Amino acid sequence: MALTNSPKVGIVMGSISDWPVFKRSAAILDDLGVAYDKRVLSAHRTPKELEAWISECEEAGVQVFIAAAGGAAHLAGVVASLTILPVLAVPMESNLQGLDSLLSMVQMPGGIPVPTMGIGKAGSTNAGLSAAAILALNDPAVRDALIQFRKDQASKVLSSEFPED
Q: Contact positions toward ligand RP5, by CB under 6 A?
A: 13-15, 17-18, 42, 69-71, 92
- CB contact set of 141 (below 8 Å; sequence gap of 6+): 33
| Residue 68 or 142 having the CB closest to ligand RP5 | 68
Q: Is 16 buried (19+), middle (13-18) or exposed (0-12) by CB count in 10 A? A: exposed
Q: Which amino acid is at 151?
A: K
| Residue 71 or 86 having the CB closest to ligand RP5 | 71
71 backbone φψ class: left, alpha, beta (φ>0; ψ -120 to 50): left
- For the CB of residue 18, give the shortest distance to ligand RP5 in the complex, in Å: 5
- For the CB of residue 112, give the shortest distance to ligand RP5 in the complex, in Å: 19
| In 3-162, beta strands by DSSP E | 9-13, 36-40, 64-69, 87-91
- For the CB of residue 136, give the shortest distance to ligand RP5 in the complex, in Å: 28
| Residue 69 or 80 having the CB closest to ligand RP5 | 69
- For the CB of residue 45, give the shortest distance to ligand RP5 in the complex, in Å: 7
Element (H, E) at 13: strand 9-13
| Residue 7 or 14 having the CB closest to ligand RP5 | 14
Give the SS3 label for residue 57: helix
